[in-house]
Amino acid sequence: MEANLINEIGHKYYKLSLWIIVGLSLMFLLLLGGTSYWNTSMLYAILISAVFSFFTSVAYIASWKGIAKNSPSTLTKFYLVAPVLRMMAAVLVILVYYVVNRNATNPDGSPAIYRLMDGFIFIFLAYYFVLLVLDSVYFAKVEKRNKLY
Average pLDDT value for residue range 17-29: 95
Single pTM value for the model = 0.89
User: Among candidates 28, 8, 7, which has minimal Cα distance to 127?
Assistant: 28
Q: What Cα–Cα distance (Å) separates residue 75 from each residue in 60, 79, 92, 131, 143? A: 12, 6, 26, 19, 10
> What pLDDT does 24 receive?
96
Where residue 1 falls among pLDDT bands split at 50, 70, 90? low
Helix (H, G, I), strand (E, B) or coil at 41: helix
Mean pLDDT over residues 119-123, rounded? 92
CA-closest candidate to residue 86, choices 63, 65, 107: 63
Give the per-residue pLDDT at 148: 47
